[in-house]
């Protein structure tokens, strides 16, 4: 096969992430989406862009700074990537704010949900707001006048700040002309007015509007010429020299505060900020014009998510539902989950089916006198976690509890450090995996004494042990007590907690050892079957597809005649539909109410119909720099469920499916004259208990 760059076989990752956010924004633009959900999707785009700038754009800027001349797989240099991404990000943000001002806010106003501007406040509202400013805001605001002894402050990453232009001299005769006011994070960005002064049920005022109205109170005797909100986004990747540190947790605790003060990568300002002030802020932050985003509205749309959470209007949201349960767990004797697992493996499909059995599995283990040990991996659980509480209870009662905590789970480091400390305080064994490899595998194992011997029970899944995201993300989880399957899981735990060579696994594929080679072998096996005239088929579902080796194997399989369907929610570097290369490959992305998170890999394998589930995407990091597992679904009935619920229904979707062309552009699949089929709605009707 020819050089990948020369033949244009790969698409750029960063451009793909912008393209993904266009698809998310399309959910907010869709008038069939309930109004508050449209606002939520708008906020999700802002949150996604924040992380994109903090990590991906920051990385590109570092490469440019170091004059890195290496090409990415798509054949682009860092400065070329940055130029293209900057242009597309500016266009996306402009489209986002146009939607906010032209559709979302007017639509909310029609429903009695108002965001009051200063010009519209009546006398009663002005009085209440003034009192609020002096009572709640003034005591915690710290204005910084810029002069020789007060240089421009290192404003916190993504914090709301105000640049204030002043005229006149202060009590010490100083006249710098500019002051900076940072809004403390303890202050809400949106304040709901009390009913007695509201014209409708929901009247909100932006914190920025209150500060604009009363900023003069912070500068007695000075004349305020202007007040302009701004926000700086900074490089948030953490650097810990894993070869030098002796205690990763202590080193990470020392590094976390620095995340707020990395190099600036983006400046956002409100539309009223004049050019001279924008230029001043750019200079102080060390940024150029291409890093500058001037917006018509609040500089942090993600904070408007609080509105979605506080407004009780079910008619403006998706219909509520109660997650269902498999028939096995609906029976009267379902209280003993170990007994049920002994009969058959149990498959859960979240969020359509409840996450509660996973919590119950650990809670029962914590209190069961026959359980002697619990082992679990922790990547993301949240600050308030029943899973972690159950592990703490188990350790407190004297059981052997071992928890592999991934301290470097991006943006969850602080929560994981706190859980690690609490677990250690009650006698649990806490380890941090393997240096240089994030532990991303999702595994829990219970060891129970039964009839004089020990039996192992495991839960493995595609998603985190996080009850909140289990209501929002689609994932599969599997319970089993099959001996060889459990022995494989135990072997991975032994690697994570001890030392020694990797043992051979019967069922599991594991990163960084066998996962990549086994995946390539499975793809090549389908190609060989196709060349031999046998039926051959690959269907894979994941969050991202970037790893060149897998992409090349898929191209070769396509050329051999294998029909390949890829359901990739986010970034896909593979180019489908190119004659002589990928004409047998179709790529689609499903964007809907729930975040598609499960990873499913199906190979026809001569009629064996192999189904694998995993926590890993087809990315370099997942194959080579993480501890991941990919596990088979062994029972025929459960295989059929995964095929139907996880793959086939998404290939039929003609409502929320975006099909990708060979240039990396996505087109929403239209139902036309055919019956509308939404995969997520179908699964809700089939699996959830009620809607």
Return binding residues: 48, 380, 410, 473, 569, 597
Separation between Cα atoms, residue 532 and residue 155, nearest integer Å: 64
Q: Which of 155, 279, 151, 142 is nearest to 211 (CA)?
A: 142
Phi and psi, residue 467, nearest 5°: -60, -35
What is the number of other CB atoms lying within 10 angstroms of the CB of residue 429?
Answer: 15
Please enumerate in sequence order all residues whose Cβ is within 8 A of that of 148, keeping only pairs 6 or more positions apart, or say none: none
Beta strands 563-568; 537-542: pairing state: parallel
User: Is 440 a residue of the active site?
Assistant: yes
Active-site position among 440, 459, 466, 516: 440
Q: Residue 384, class by beta-carbon neighbours within 10 Å (0-12 exposed, 13-18 middle, 19+ buried)?
A: exposed
Tokens 């407004």, residue located: 311
Where do we find the tokens 């400065």?
79
Helix (H) or strand (E) holding 339: helix 337-343
Q: Where are the beta strands (DSSP E) in 379-423?
A: 400-405
Mapping DSSP to helix (H, G, I), strand (E, B) and coil, where does residue 662 land?
coil
Residues 153 and 159: their CA atoms lie apart, in Å, by: 12
Contact between 425 and 401 (Cβ < 8 Å): no
What does residue 178 show for φ and ψ, rounded to 5 degrees?
-140, 140
Q: 460, 442 in Cβ contact below 8 A?
A: yes
Cβ-in-10-Å burial (0-12, 13-18, 19+) of 95 comes to: middle
Helix (H) or strand (E) holding 596: strand 595-596
Q: How many CB atoms lie within 10 A of CB 402?
A: 20
499 HSE (CA, 13 A, CB side): 0
What residues are designated binding site for ATP? Answer: 48, 473, 569, 597
* DSSP-based three-state secondary structure for 335: coil
Q: Are 629 and 513 in contact (CB under 8 A)?
A: no
* CA atoms within 13 Å, Cβ hemisphere of 164: 29
Q: Residues near 151 by Cβ (< 8 Å), separated by ≥ 6? A: none
**644 contacts: CB under 8 Å, gap ≥ 6:** none
* Residue 607 Ramachandran class (φ > 0 left, ψ -120 to 50 alpha, else beta): left
Give me the count of residues in the chain: 691
Structure-token match 């890093």, residue found: 291
- DSSP-derived secondary structure for 97-140: HHHIIIIIHHHHHHTTEEE--GGG--HHHHHHHHHHIIIIIGGG
Q: Strand, helix or coil at 444?
A: strand
The pair of three-digit structure tokens given for residue 438, joined into one six-digit string? 């994030």
Q: Round to whole Å and give the CA distance between 101 and 93.
A: 12
Long-range pairs of 677-680 with CB within 8 A, sequence gap ≥ 24: 677/649, 677/652, 677/653, 678/592, 678/653, 679/590, 679/592, 679/649, 679/650, 679/652, 679/653, 680/474, 680/590, 680/592, 680/593, 680/594, 680/656
Q: Could you give the CA distance from residue 198 to residue 307 in angstroms, rounded to a whole number?
A: 16
Distance CA 621, CA 631 (A): 18
| Buried b / exposed e along 150-181 (16+ C-beta atoms within 10 A) | eeeeebbbbbbbbbbbbeeebeeebeeebbbb
Active site residues: 440
């Amino acid at each position: 096969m020819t050089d990948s760059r020369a033949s244009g076989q790969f698409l750029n990752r960063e451009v793909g992430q912008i393209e993904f956010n266009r698809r998310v924004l399309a959910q907010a633009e869709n008038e069939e989406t309930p109004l508050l959900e449209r606002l939520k999707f708008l906020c999700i785009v802002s949150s996604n862009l924040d992380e994109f700038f903090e990590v991906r754009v920051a990385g590109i800027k570092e490469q440019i700074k170091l004059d890195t001349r290496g090409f990415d797989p798509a054949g682009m240099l860092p400065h070329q990537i940055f130029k293209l991404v900057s242009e597309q990000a500016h266009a996306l943000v402009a489209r986002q704010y146009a939607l906010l001002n032209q559709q979302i806010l007017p639509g909310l106003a029609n429903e009695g949900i108002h965001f009051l501007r200063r010009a519209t406040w009546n006398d009663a509202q002005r009085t209440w707001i003034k009192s609020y400013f002096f009572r709640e805001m003034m005591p915690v605001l710290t204005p910084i006048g810029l002069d020789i002894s007060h240089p421009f402050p290192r404003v916190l990453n993504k914090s709301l700040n105000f640049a204030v232009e002043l005229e006149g001299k202060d009590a010490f005769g100083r006249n710098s002309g500019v002051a900076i006011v940072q809004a403390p994070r303890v202050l809400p960005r949106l304040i709901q007015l009390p009913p007695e002064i509201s014209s409708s049920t929901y009247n909100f005022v932006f914190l920025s509007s209150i500060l604009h109205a009363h900023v003069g109170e912070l500068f007695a005797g000075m004349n305020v010429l202007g007040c302009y909100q701004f926000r700086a986004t900074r490089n948030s990747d953490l650097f810990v020299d894993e070869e030098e540190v002796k205690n990763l947790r202590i080193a990470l605790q020392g590094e976390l505060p620095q995340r707020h003060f990395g190099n600036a990568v983006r400046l956002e300002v409100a539309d009223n900020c004049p050019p001279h002030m924008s230029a001043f802020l750019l200079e102080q932050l060390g940024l150029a014009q291409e890093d500058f985003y001037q917006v018509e509205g609040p500089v942090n749309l993600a904070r408007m998510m609080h509105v979605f959470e506080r407004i009780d209007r079910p008619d403006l949201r998706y219909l509520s539902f109660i997650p269902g349960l498999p028939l096995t767990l609906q029976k009267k004797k379902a209280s003993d989950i170990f007994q049920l697992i002994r009969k058959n493996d149990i498959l859960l499909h979240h969020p359509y089916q409840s996450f509660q059995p996973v919590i119950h599995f650990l809670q029962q283990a914590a209190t069961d006198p026959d359980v002697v040990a619990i082992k679990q991996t922790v990547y993301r659980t949240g600050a308030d976690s029943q899973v972690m509480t159950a592990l703490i209870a188990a350790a407190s009662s004297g059981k052997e509890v071992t928890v592999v905590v991934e301290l470097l789970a991006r943006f969850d480091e602080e929560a994981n450090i706190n859980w690690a400390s609490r677990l250690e305080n009650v006698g649990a064994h806490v380890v941090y995996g393997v240096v240089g490899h994030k532990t991303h595998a999702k595994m829990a194992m219970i060891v129970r004494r039964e009839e004089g011997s020990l039996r192992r029970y495991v839960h493995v899944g595609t998603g985190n042990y996080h009850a909140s995201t289990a209501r929002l993300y689609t994932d599969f989880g599997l319970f089993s007590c099959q001996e060889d399957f459990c022995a494989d899981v135990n072997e991975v735990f032994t690697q994570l907690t001890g030392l020694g060579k990797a043992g051979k696994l019967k069922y599991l594929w594991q990163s960084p050892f066998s996962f990549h080679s086994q995946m390539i072998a499975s793809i090549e096996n389908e190609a060989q079957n196709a060349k031999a005239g046998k039926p051959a088929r690959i269907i894979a579902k994941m969050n991202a597809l970037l790893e060149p080796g897998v992409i090349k194997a898929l191209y070769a399989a396509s050329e051999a005649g294998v029909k390949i369907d890829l359901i990739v929610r986010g970034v896909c570097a593979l180019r489908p539909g190119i004659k002589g290369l990928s004409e047998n490959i179709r790529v689609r992305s499903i964007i809907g109410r729930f975040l598609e998170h499960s990873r499913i890999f199906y190979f026809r394998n001569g009629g064996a119909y192999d189904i694998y589930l995993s926590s890993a995407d087809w990315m370099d990091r997942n194959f080579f720099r993480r501890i991941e597992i990919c596990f088979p679904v062994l029972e025929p009935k459960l295989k059929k469920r995964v095929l139907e619920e996880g793959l086939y229904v998404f290939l039929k979707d003609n409502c929320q499916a975006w099909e990708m062309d060979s240039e990396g552009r996505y087109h929403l699949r239209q139902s036309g004259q055919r019956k509308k089929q939404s995969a997520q709605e179908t699964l809700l009707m089939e699996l959830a208990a009620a809607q």
